Amino acid sequence: MGRVVGIDLGTTNSVVAVIEGGKPIVIANAEGFRTTPSVVGFNKEGELVVGQMARRQAVLHPKNTFYGVKRFIGRKYSELEPESKRVAYTVRRDRSDNIKIPCPQIEKTFAPEEISARILQKLAEDAEKYLGEAVTGAVITVPAYFNDAQRQATRDAGKIAGLDVKRIINEPTAAALAYGLEKRNYQTILVFDIGGGTFDVSILDIKDNLFEVRATCGDSQLGGDDFDKRIVDWLAEQFLQQEGVDLRKERQSLQRLMEAAEKAKIELSGVKVTEINLPFITATAEGPKHLETRLTRSQFEDLCGDLVGRLRKPIKRAMSDAGITPPEIDEVVLVGGSSRIPMVQQLVRSFIDIEPNKGVNPDEVVAVGAAIQAGMLGGEVKDILLLDVTPISIGLETIGGINKKLLPRNTTIPTRRSDVFSTGENNQTMVEIHVVQGEREMARDNKSLGRFKLTGIPPAPRGVPQVQVSFDIDANGILQVTARDRTTGREQGITIQGASNLSDGEIERMMREAAQYAREDREKRERVEKRNKARALVDKAQRTLKEVTLDFGSQFVSYHRRRIEALCNEITESLRENDERAIDRAESDLRDALYELNREVKWQYEEDDEIDLFGAIKRTFTGEREEDYWPSNSGYREREDYRYGGGYYDNEDRRDYETRDDRDYYGDRRNSRGDYSRSSRYDDYPPEQSSRRGRTSNRNNIPRQNNWDEDDDDEWY
């Protein structure tokens, strides 16, 4: 059984958290950041990239980089506003009016649920690396004003990602859980949640360990991206007037404008004016064009005045549904990155005359609340009761196409509601139950959730048969509708888990493809890492050869050099030919060769240390000085004579020494520093330290002088 984590699947950024030791902890991603951009892309090699890596390629590969997909999830193409479709990548419709996103790089078309699934996979993998165990389940947050289709689409994305979605929880409710976890006094709080693409406001009562949602409202198509688009339009209109070029029609230019707009919006939360500089934004027949301008906070507020006005209505409606007035609000919790905008904060203060609470991180608080909910389901967090509400009314279609609401909005769930209906025509033996979701009075203006038929009704005048229709909704938001004829006892029902845009077959196919892509991506990553390691090993080997040559001379490493360089060439050639087996074999042999070289180097250092130790002991007892020894690590010393064993040599002899092949004794000529380096195959002791018994072996290593008597060994020794 794997772990269950809490995931805030955001429009702009996503966060994953988990309960550790009874406390919620936000998990950093592989790049070291606590938030992961909700961006998915395919690079020029066709490899899947998610998060920061995908965001970096957005300008160069706009058609293959997908962001803000949360606004499309669970919706039909016909439901999209023109502004929603103005993105740098392509958005299309299929025959069923579903939204499809083509990726030219891999010649494949994705549903929004598939794109979101890649983000969920990335978050789950990061959590697994942190926890050291598998992550199999998740509690995923959604905007409170998501309809049933959008909630089910989010659940489908979790299934495609290979996760068991334990619960779908509203984002403001999750934020309230995180805020009130340590609270024990009675409070009524208002959660103001405005993220990148959605806006929600919820009012909750917190008392001891009871969290009860009283009302919720919002706008699932209003968020920080809309503020960014106002800046984009302002910049594009200015450039169009000056240069006659509409930057919104060029994908790369549009992507650069959107990134600059987001940066400017963030900066204006702390300063009064910001500079916007976009060199080489486009090119005309006259040459490259640059965009350079300034945007003040007052200009930004003028551009977004109507957007702030759209925030007022949900606040008023939520307070009206909860039956409270602003003085009854004890605390205001701001959630979402866009809640940092000064004009948004000023709007909240104008409604509730208190300073918003800034004790929670608006970027992470929703994920923390989701982790708490996951802990509640897993038994790690106890003694907490959460009572949520259904954000949108659910009813059924009656005669004349009227929407009869059985579950009004802000009804506490889980709950069960029922009502009795009858036939509309004489001798009618069958009725069709059409379940809809929405606040409009006519059924056709609302979202259709499902239909089913109840047959076998005895013929009777209209209005006589009695059909009892019951709505039963659980804590997960899964709705079950049943219809029963009171006369015959016949019953028919339907379980509505959301009006998903994907069929079960499509979901199964996407799950298989997601697993296949995950395996292929993992194999690609392993191949890339293997090649990088092989190149790094070659560089290390060449660096080691240079260092050992400087310290011990070329003769010392001559044998190892030939072997190591041959293996380095073999690895380089194998990398060029993409021969995986040859790379593995040569890499293993090269590691063995480096190990042998390093072992000999270690022995050489140990012998040198031993010589230094014995030499120091001897000098202590004999009174000799270190410079009296002729062999030296720094070469010949400038002396008039040189002591060697029992005799001395003058400068003439020394010059004669230097003209001969000194490698007979030292094993190599001077290295690049001017020192004489010795090979480990020759004796490391000078002749005067050698015993008479070992003179035969040492004798061959002593350079011969012209005036030496080869037979007079006793005189020499």
**What percent of the chain stands above pLDDT 90?**
35
* Contact of 127 with 474, CB cutoff 8 Å: no
> Higher pLDDT residue, 506 or 468?
468
Query: Is the same domain home to 533 and 455?
Result: no
C-alpha dihedral, 453 to 457 to 459 to 463, nearest 10°: -80
Query: Is the same domain home to 74 and 201?
Result: yes
pLDDT at 700: 40
Whether 301 is a known active-site residue: answer no
pLDDT digits (tens, 9 = 90+) for 220-240: 889 999 999 999 999 999 999
Residues forming beta bridges with residue 188, ordered by sequence position: 205
Place of tokens 């989010």: 154
pLDDT at 656: 43
Phi–psi pair at 158, nearest 5 degrees: -65, -40
Query: Is the same domain home to 384 and 438?
Result: no
pLDDT at 368: 94
Final residue of a domain: which of 337, 366, 388?
388
Q: Judge whether residue 387 has pLDDT over 70.
A: yes
At residue 483, the 3 state secondary structure works out as strand
Give the domain extent around 491.
392-495
Final residue of a domain: which of 495, 526, 544?
495
pLDDT tier for residue 475 given thresholds of 50, 70 and 90: confident
Place of tokens 């688009």: 229
* Length of the chain, in residues: 717
Angle between helices 251-267 and 224-243 (to 10 degrees): 120
Other beta carbons less than 10 A from residue 693's beta carbon: 7
The answer to whether residue 607 is domain-embedded is yes
pLDDT at 680: 41
> Mean pLDDT across the stretch 93-122?
91
pLDDT at 17: 96
Query: Is the same domain home to 481 and 511?
Result: no
Q: Is 425 exposed, middle or buried (0-12, 13-18, 19+ CB in 10 A)?
A: exposed
> Mean pLDDT across the stretch 597-605?
80
The answer to whether residue 297 is domain-embedded is no
Other beta carbons less than 10 A from residue 99's beta carbon: 26
pLDDT at 697: 39
What does the alpha-carbon distance between residue 14 and residue 117 come to, in Å, rounded to a whole number?
A: 12
Q: Judge whether residue 250 has pLDDT over 50.
A: yes
pLDDT at 675: 46
pLDDT at 582: 86
Rounded to the nearest 5 degrees, what angle is found at the Cα of 25, between the Cα atoms of 24 and 30?
Answer: 150
Does the pTM exceed 0.85? no
pLDDT at 496: 67
pLDDT tier for residue 2 given thresholds of 50, 70 and 90: confident
pLDDT tier for residue 118 given thresholds of 50, 70 and 90: very high
Query: Is the same domain home to 214 and 170?
Result: yes
Query: Is the same domain home to 560 and 634?
Result: no
Q: Which of 126, 148, 193, 262 is catalytic?
A: 193
Q: Which of 70, 229, 405, 447 is catalytic?
A: 70
The answer to whether residue 195 is domain-embedded is yes
pLDDT digits (tens, 9 = 90+) for 423-465: 888 888 888 889 888 888 888 888 888 888 888 888 988 888 8
> Mean pLDDT across the stretch 90-104?
90
* Contact of 371 with 19, CB cutoff 8 Å: yes
pLDDT tier for residue 102 given thresholds of 50, 70 and 90: very high
pLDDT at 79: 85
Q: Enter the tokens of residue 349.
A: 């203060």
pLDDT digits (tens, 9 = 90+) for 18-48: 999 888 999 999 889 999 999 999 988 888 8
Give the range among 191-195, 230-234, 545-549 with minimum mean pLDDT: 545-549
* Contact of 520 with 478, CB cutoff 8 Å: no
> Mean pLDDT across the stretch 73-92?
86
Q: Judge whether residue 165 has pLDDT over 70.
A: yes
Domain containing 431 — which CATH number?
2.60.34.10
Whether 219 is a known active-site residue: answer no
Tell me how many domains the chain contains.
4
pLDDT tier for residue 94 given thresholds of 50, 70 and 90: confident
Q: Judge whether residue 684 has pLDDT over 80.
A: no
pLDDT digits (tens, 9 = 90+) for 607-619: 666 566 555 555 5
Query: Is the same domain home to 540 and 419?
Result: no
The answer to whether residue 295 is domain-embedded is no
Final residue of a domain: which of 331, 363, 388?
388
Whether 602 is a known active-site residue: answer no
Q: Enter the tokens of residue 468.
A: 């009892």
Q: Judge whether residue 418 has pLDDT over 60.
A: yes
pLDDT at 44: 86
Sign of dihedral through CA atoms 62, 64, 68, 72? Answer: positive
> Higher pLDDT residue, 629 or 506?
506
The answer to whether residue 119 is domain-embedded is yes
| Residue 409 CB contacts under 8 Å (≥ 6 apart), including other chains | 217, 321, 389, 390, 391, 392, 393, 439
The answer to whether residue 273 is domain-embedded is no
* Contact of 167 with 476, CB cutoff 8 Å: yes
Find the distance separating the first CA and the last CA of the chain, reported in whole Å.
Answer: 81
Query: Is the same domain home to 484 and 407?
Result: yes
Query: Is the same domain home to 563 and 660?
Result: no
Q: Which of 113, 125, 171, 228 is catalytic?
A: 171
> Higher pLDDT residue, 677 or 412?
412
Q: Enter the tokens of residue 318.
A: 């939520």
At residue 669, the 3 state secondary structure works out as coil
Domain containing 345 — which CATH number?
3.30.420.40
Give the range among 309-318, 425-434, 630-639 with minimum mean pLDDT: 630-639
- Exposed e or buried b for every residue in 269-303, given b needs 16+ CB within 10 A? beeeebebebeebbeeeeeebebeeebebeebeeb
Phi–psi pair at 4, nearest 5 degrees: -115, 130
Query: Is the same domain home to 138 and 74?
Result: yes
Query: Is the same domain home to 535 and 660?
Result: no
pLDDT digits (tens, 9 = 90+) for 331-360: 999 999 899 999 999 999 988 888 888 788
Query: Is the same domain home to 449 and 546?
Result: no
The answer to whether residue 312 is domain-embedded is yes
> Mean pLDDT across the stretch 115-120?
94
Whether 523 is a known active-site residue: answer no
The answer to whether residue 293 is domain-embedded is no
At residue 52, the 3 state secondary structure works out as helix
What mean pLDDT value characterizes the chain?
Answer: 81
